[in-house]
Amino acid sequence: EADIYQTPRYLVIGTGKKITLECSQTMGHDKMYWYQQDPGMELHLIHYSYGVNSTEKGDLSSESTVSRIRTEHFPLTLESARPSHTSQYLCASSAGTGTGVYEQYFGPGTRLTVT
Amino acid sequence: GNSVTQMEGPVTLSEEAFLTINCTYTATGYPSLFWYVQYPGEGLQLLLKATKADDKGSNKGFEATYRKETTSFHLEKGSVQVSDSAVYFCALSDRGSGGYNKLIFGAGTRLAVHP
């Protein structure tokens, strides 16, 4: 069973607030990812990390930022939330170094609503 | 670029019916293929995978065979249960720039099983 956690599970917040979505994994995985899932279910990669001090933007442009100062922790921050940020955010991690293929393990997600 | 196409849902079946969810892909090289499942209110879970042509992945009664000649990875189950109601995602591995491995997901297919 994969051990990857996200908090909060649900968040309702007003426009203009700063928020941080937490993601932690206890598997020692080097690679971590953030996906945005729209109401139509489609998943979009917004950030990923190879390891500590590595962050890259994904396929979908996002106003959010991420940091990776510890292997197990990959928080996502929105400096000023807007209604367009309303979505489900999924964190994932995978093992492996180099170019091998390793499946990704997902957290339960954070459902964000910005009013 | 690489892509995954899944049959549109929702798929609605009676309990004990046979399930097929079609998935085809476009890729250069030899990607690995995955099926993920998302139960209501949860993150994605890996259901099965196949890493090379003619491999069959199987788990919990679900099966899918990696068919390179038809670029397909259709998901099947002989007898579905109400508890199988979920959203199913087909995905392929893709090697991004710098040797990074990421998953490309299909749009998801919602399955509803009725007693």
Cβ distance of A42 and B93 shorter than 8 Å: no
A46 neighbors A57 (Cβ within 8 angstroms): yes
Could you read off the pLDDT of A49-60 as tens digits, one per residue? 989 999 999 888
Mean pLDDT confidence for B46-73:
95
Could you read off the pLDDT of B84-98 as tens digits, one per residue? 999 999 999 876 555
Is the pLDDT confidence value at A16 over 80? Answer: yes
Any A CB within 8 A of B105 CB: yes
Distance from CA of B55 to the nearest CA of A (A): 15
For residue A4, name the pLDDT band (cuts at 50, 70, 90): very high
pLDDT at A40: 74
The CA-CA-CA angle for residues B45, B71, B40, to 5°, reads: 20
Distance from CA of B63 to the nearest CA of A (A): 17
Residue of B48, B90, B105, B110 for testing the chain A interface, max A β-carbons within 10 Å: B105
Q: How many CB pairs under 8 A join A and B?
A: 57
Nearest one of A77, A73, A76 to A27, comparing CA atoms: A73
Mean pLDDT confidence for A27-49:
90
pLDDT at B1: 80
Average pLDDT, chain A: 91
Mean pLDDT confidence for B13-18:
97
Nearest one of A58, A60, A64 to A32, comparing CA atoms: A58
Nearest one of A25, A92, A66 to B105, comparing CA atoms: A92
For chain B, the residue count is: 115
Q: How far is CA B55 from CA A9, A82, A105, B84, in A?
A: 37, 45, 22, 23
Residue of A5, A90, A101, A102 for testing the chain B interface, max B β-carbons within 10 Å: A101
Q: Give phi and psi for B82, each to the nearest 5.
A: -55, -35
pLDDT at B96: 56
Is the pLDDT confidence value at A1 over 60? Answer: no
